[in-house]
Amino acid sequence: MIRTLLSLGDRSGARPIRTNLISLVIESVLAGIGYACMVPASEHILSGRPQDAWPWIVAVAVLFACYSVVRYRAQLAAYRAAIGLAEQLFRRLGDKVSALPLGWFSDPRRVGELSQLSSRGIVDVMGVPAHLLRPVVASVVTPVTLLVAMFLFDWRLALVALVGLPLVAVVGRWAGRLVARLDRVQKTATTAAAGRVVEFAQAQATLRAAGRTASGHRQLEKALAEQSAAQRSTTVIAAPALLSTNLVIQLLLVALLATGAQLALGGELGTAELVALLVLGVRLVEPLMTAVENGAALRMAGNAMARYQEILATAELPAPHATPAGEGPVEPSVELREVTFGYGGEPVLRNVSLVARPGTMTALVGPSGSGKTTVLRLIARFWDVDEGTVSIGGRDVRQLTTEELMRHIALVFQDVYLFDGTIEENIRMSRPEASEEELREAAELARVTEVVDRLPDGWRTRVGEGGAALSGGERQRISIARALLKDAPIVLLDEATAALDAANDAAVVAAFDSLRADRTLVVVAHRLPTVRSADQIVVLDGGRVVEEGSHEQLFRHGGRYRVFWEERTRSVGWRLTSPTPGE
Ligand SMILES: Nc1ncnc2c1ncn2[C@@H]1O[C@H](COP(=O)(O)OP(=O)(O)OP(=O)(O)O)[C@@H](O)[C@H]1O
């Protein structure tokens, strides 16, 4: 645990933790010697020779005075270590988050975990140096010191303690591991149940529309049943495990008592000596009991530390520290050359090659799961390709810094995230230094102005967390305004699949048209007018490029694209008003 703790902070953070540890060891040794000195002191008092007890009483007083000073210093070092550790963990986590592949965040559980770790988790970890190291160190150092002292007073009682202490350690360790495992199972079940509750709430409209509220309930009930089963088994197994540790500790005390009584009966130990040694025995088991009592907090901190370690150990995307002058992209073109990529398993893109020339629009079309969104993610370097290259303006994206790459690219994805701020703040984030005029112009082109005019607080309207106060179409318009304001030469756009109402649809199309002017667009296109107006259409199927060309060429060719077009035309009831070539 201590090694894990040291690995979480940086070098400057390790010093107060080490100082704290050393102080805790000295403090526990002083306490142990102090208790040991009480044995001859009590023995003298109980045998009616109080005057002989004085030197021991003075020794105890001096030891406890030293103990208080060391403890004060240890406590200061403990708080310093806890605060330093929290600062370093926040910083390391922040650095890590900005260096992790963007794809890492596509799993919503990860984001939930990050939020949990930076709130509750950090408090748990801070608790280790602040409060938990003391009982842990004391549970080892104090009993060992007292054991040595016991050997000096009576080797037979010391022998009983010597046999008992490792037994306590073994049972305590076994119980701790068992309960930690149960805790993990329970936490997983609780997270799954919480996820089901959220999913159930979010899916209400869909479930009701499909008349499946009952089966939706069943899944939730199953998750809740699993959670209570996990909770029950934790209670049923954990309680006896923890009790067994307590029992072994009490048994050690009873064994000391029985041995002492036996020795006293045999006349080998005076009553006063026996009483004094038994007091020492009680002191010996006390820190062990305290360590058991702190077990739950220790396990929670242990779990949080393990999760931190896991995130901090996640591989980052290798990136150069700086792009050498004159080696940035030379033009706003995009090229994928023989790209193969998989999300850890089977490849979802195989040998994909395509070129998007400057100032043109490339539409990616194909069945669901064919890899269209993945192509956009690879251009923005959410992940690195397994084989082949992705380049922007003739430069491999792996040779560009994240800042350089992002300077050239604007992303307009379907799941637009808006910060819980005003509409203005949300647009401005793409270029904070933009003038008021530029901001208003971008908003006007993206048809955000008409949304703003409708809202009671206008530009100062808060959009709610994730943009909850706005409709899907309105959120996408804000995202387009961001891209317009950023004015990056390459735009990657994942067109909304969700059907928008007529007014929103018209506004998004108009906003989209403003975005097209003078930019290189790569679009996952779902709307037929978008597909048709593209300079180049790339048809993907099963992760491969199966056709490529303009609408007219592909339509005339009569292959996969024509089937796609005719199916879509039928499904949306769309009619071509003028004959298309090939018809
Ligand atoms: N983060 C991920 N982890 C693992 N597999 C993924 C991930 N994202 C996508 N996939 C898988 O990769 C394949 C291609 O997905 P992609 O989203 O690129 O397809 P798509 O053509 O954009 O589909 P759609 O039109 O339905 O959005 C699918 O089989 C999908 O299940």
Output the domain CATH number for residue 476. 3.40.50.300
Q: Is 369 in the pocket of ligand 1 (CB under 6 A)?
A: yes
CA distance 521 to 495: 12
Domain annotation covers residue 213: no
pTM: 0.66
Q: 10 Å Cβ neighbour count for 293? A: 12
Q: Is 543 in the pocket of ligand 1 (CB under 6 A)?
A: no
Q: Is 291 in the pocket of ligand 1 (CB under 6 A)?
A: no
Helix (H, G, I), strand (E, B) or coil at 546: strand
Length of the chain: 583
* CA 367 to ligand 1 centroid distance, Å: 11
Band (583; pLDDT cuts 50, 70, 90): very low
Contacts 24+ apart (CB under 8 A), 236-244: 237/178, 237/182, 238/178, 238/179, 238/182, 241/174, 241/175, 241/178, 241/179, 242/175, 242/179, 242/292, 242/295, 244/171, 244/175
CA distance 391 to 400: 10
Residue appearing with tokens 């799941």:
415
440 and 299 in a common domain: no
Domain annotation covers residue 339: yes
Q: Is 109 in the pocket of ligand 1 (CB under 6 A)?
A: no
Looking at every residue in the chain, the average pLDDT score rounds to: 83
Counting runs of H as helices and runs of E as strands, what totals does the chain give?
Answer: 21, 10
ipTM > 0.90 (yes/no): yes
Q: Which atom of ligand 1 is nearest to the CA of 107?
A: 1
Q: Is 368 in the pocket of ligand 1 (CB under 6 A)?
A: yes
426 and 300 in a common domain: no
Residue 130 tokens, joined: 């602040």
pLDDT at 349: 96
488 and 450 in a common domain: yes
CA distance 95 to 89: 10
In a mutational test of the pocket of ligand 1, which residue from 102, 350, 370, 526 has the highest number of ligand atoms less than 8 Å from its CB?
Answer: 370
Q: Is 539 in the pocket of ligand 1 (CB under 6 A)?
A: no
351 and 283 in a common domain: no
Domain annotation covers residue 102: yes
Which CATH number is 131's domain given? Answer: 1.20.1560.10
In a mutational test of the pocket of ligand 1, which residue from 348, 386, 493 has the highest number of ligand atoms less than 8 Å from its CB?
Answer: 348
Q: Is the dihedral of CA 461, 465, 468, 472 positive or negative?
A: positive
pLDDT in tens, 402-446: 888 888 998 888 777 777 788 888 888 888 888 989 999 888 888
Of the candidate ranges 118-122, 235-239, 375-379, 579-583, the one whose mean pLDDT is the lowest: 579-583
517 and 406 in a common domain: yes
Q: Is the dihedral of CA 107, 112, 118, 121 positive or negative?
A: negative
Of 561 and 516, the one with more pLDDT = 561
Q: Is 349 in the pocket of ligand 1 (CB under 6 A)?
A: no
* Mean pLDDT on 260-275: 86
* Structural domains in the chain (count): 2
Domain annotation covers residue 33: yes
* Residue identifier of the C-alpha nearest atom 3 of ligand 1: 343
* CA 399 to ligand 1 centroid distance, Å: 26
521 and 399 in a common domain: yes
pLDDT in tens, 99-133: 787 777 776 667 767 777 777 788 888 888 888 88
Q: Which atom of ligand 1 is nearest to the CA of 375?
A: 18
pLDDT in tens, 169-216: 888 888 888 887 887 788 778 877 877 777 777 677 767 776 666 566
pLDDT in tens, 20-44: 889 999 999 999 999 889 888 888 8
Q: Is 374 in the pocket of ligand 1 (CB under 6 A)?
A: yes
Domain annotation covers residue 209: no
CA distance 420 to 464: 5
* CA 222 to ligand 1 centroid distance, Å: 28
552 and 478 in a common domain: yes
* Residue identifier of the C-alpha nearest atom 25 of ligand 1: 368
Q: Is 373 in the pocket of ligand 1 (CB under 6 A)?
A: yes
pLDDT at 377: 92
303 and 422 in a common domain: no
Look at residue 544 and tell me whether its pLDDT is greater than 80: yes
Q: Is 494 in the pocket of ligand 1 (CB under 6 A)?
A: no
23 and 126 in a common domain: yes
* CA 348 to ligand 1 centroid distance, Å: 8
Domain annotation covers residue 181: no
* CA 373 to ligand 1 centroid distance, Å: 7
CA distance 65 to 69: 7
User: Which residues constitute the domain of residue 22?
Assistant: 2-154+269-312
* CA 555 to ligand 1 centroid distance, Å: 26
Domain annotation covers residue 196: no
403 and 297 in a common domain: no
Decide: 13 and 39 in contact? Cβ < 8 Å.
no
* CA 354 to ligand 1 centroid distance, Å: 19
369 and 446 in a common domain: yes
pLDDT in tens, 331-384: 889 999 999 999 888 999 999 999 999 989 999 999 888 999 999 999 999 889
Q: For residue 411, what are the β-bridge partners?
A: 492
Helix (H, G, I), strand (E, B) or coil at 438: helix
The secondary element (H helix, E strand) that includes residue 390 is: strand 387-392
438 and 307 in a common domain: no
Give the closest residue to 551 by CA, choosing from 580, 573, 508, 576: 580
